[in-house]
């Protein structure tokens, strides 16, 4: 019973996490002057400030020892967070929200592949079929982009590919670290690394006070807080469950961008993305069905 309650709690935490993640695109569209590298710098810096404050408030004098205890997997997780922070926001300033999020939706399949390589987990035949179907969807999406989109969109989609690769590495690092290691400090590390990498590229600053207010909100509520929730939820979820629930961001992000910024996704993007999402949903739901039937 305790395990079931913890699992339900973790699912709710992941739903909250992905819902908060999904608001980045619509708020980014309301920035005045901040673009690309500067957006990434401010958001990462504010996320690092939020996580650092949370650690100090929760753990007081133990916060620094917790930071030192993350180990090599914590360092790997921090590096992965920094890649995600950088690539995601830069991609959003170069292409549409839908393009960015649908490219990111390949993450569950990459996670399955990395789990096979590094965790020695068996990969079902249906997963390889899903990988093939998802690749077809990605090619469809990119081929259409080459025909109808400018170079900026294609470059943005290429940058966005860094997110699912880093996200998959991050999930593997978190699972390899195990329950005994608190990897919330890795989120702080990721924010610091990202901000330091972007700082030389952002000078001189162009963000208005309006922009900084939006980016502070994104750093606190869209990045720092939900990433902490994701680390907590991962203790009671399998890698496929984490990736499956993370797909809610792909579904909600374009919806918020359409409702809040009037950004209508292209038909080809939706068609290729639908193939990707269908492959992912089929693979992950089929994998979870036997577990559900055993529980019943």
Which of the four pLDDT bands, split at 50, 70 and 90, describes residue 108?
Answer: confident
Higher pLDDT, 5 or 3: 5
pLDDT in tens, 65-102: 888 888 899 999 999 999 999 998 888 878 877 778 77
Rounded Cα gap, residues 204 and 184, in angstroms: 32
Q: Using the predicted structure, report yes or no on whether residue 214 has a pLDDT greater than 90.
A: yes
Q: Using the predicted structure, report yes or no on whether residue 168 has a pLDDT greater than 50.
A: yes
Rounded Cα gap, residues 84 and 100, in angstroms: 12
Percentage of residues in the chain with pLDDT exceeding 90?
32
Q: Using the predicted structure, report yes or no on whether residue 122 has a pLDDT greater than 80.
A: no
Please report, to the nearest 10 degrees, the dihedral formed by the alpha carbons of residues 115, 21, 106, 5 taken in order. 40
133: Cβ contacts below 8 Å, ≥ 6 apart: 275, 276, 278, 279
Higher pLDDT, 92 or 261: 92
CA 51, 112, 237: angle at the middle one, nearest 5? 50
Across residues 193-200, what is the average pLDDT?
94
Q: Using the predicted structure, report yes or no on whether residue 213 has a pLDDT greater than 90.
A: yes
Residues, the chain: 296
Please report, to the nearest 10 degrees, the dihedral formed by the alpha carbons of residues 5, 11, 12, 15 taken in order. 180
Which of the four pLDDT bands, split at 50, 70 and 90, describes residue 289?
Answer: low
Neighbours of 58 (CB within 10 A): 12
The confidence score (pLDDT) of residue 284 equals 63
Q: Using the predicted structure, report yes or no on whether residue 295 has a pLDDT greater than 60.
A: no
pLDDT in tens, 20-77: 998 988 888 888 888 778 989 999 999 999 999 999 998 888 888 888 888 899 999 9
Instruction: Give me 77's structure tokens.
Output: 């997780």
Which of the four pLDDT bands, split at 50, 70 and 90, describes residue 262?
Answer: confident
Which of 197, 174, 204 lies closest to 187, judged by CA? Answer: 174
Which of the four pLDDT bands, split at 50, 70 and 90, describes residue 8?
Answer: confident
Rounded Cα gap, residues 48 and 37, in angstroms: 16
Q: Using the predicted structure, report yes or no on whether residue 210 has a pLDDT greater than 90.
A: yes
Which of the four pLDDT bands, split at 50, 70 and 90, describes residue 294?
Answer: very low
Q: Measure Cα distances from 257 to 99, 146, 264 in Å.
A: 12, 23, 8
């Amino acid at each position: 019973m305790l395990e079931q309650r913890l699992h339900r709690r973790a699912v709710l935490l992941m739903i909250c996490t992905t819902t908060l993640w999904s608001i980045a695109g619509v708020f980014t569209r309301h920035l005045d002057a901040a673009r690309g590298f500067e957006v990434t710098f401010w958001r990462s810096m504010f996320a690092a400030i939020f996580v650092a404050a949370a650690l100090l408030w929760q753990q007081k004098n133990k916060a620094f020892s917790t930071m030192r205890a993350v180990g090599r997997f914590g360092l790997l997780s921090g590096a992965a967070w920094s890649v995600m922070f950088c690539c995601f926001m830069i991609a959003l300033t170069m292409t549409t929200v839908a393009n960015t999020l649908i490219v990111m939706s390949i993450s569950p399949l990459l996670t399955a592949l990395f789990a096979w390589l590094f965790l020695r987990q068996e990969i079902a035949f249906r997963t390889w079929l899903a990988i093939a179907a998802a690749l077809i969807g990605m090619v469809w999406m990119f081929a259409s982009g080459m025909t109808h989109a400018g170079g900026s969109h294609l470059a943005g989609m290429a940058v966005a590919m860094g997110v699912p690769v880093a996200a998959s590495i991050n999930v593997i690092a978190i699972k390899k670290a195990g329950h005994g290691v608190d990897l919330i400090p890795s989120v702080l590390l990721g924010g610091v690394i990202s901000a330091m990498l972007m700082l030389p590229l952002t000078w001189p600053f162009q963000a208005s006070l309006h922009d900084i207010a939006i980016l502070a909100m994104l750093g606190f509520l869209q990045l720092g807080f939900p990433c902490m929730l994701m680390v907590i939820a991962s203790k009671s979820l399998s890698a496929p469950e984490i990736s499956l629930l993370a797909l809610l961001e792909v579904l909600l992000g374009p919806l918020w961008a359409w409702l809040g910024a009037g950004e209508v996704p292209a038909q080809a993007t939706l068609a290729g993305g639908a193939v990707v999402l269908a492959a992912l949903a089929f693979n992950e739901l089929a994998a979870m069905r036997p577990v559900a039937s055993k529980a019943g």
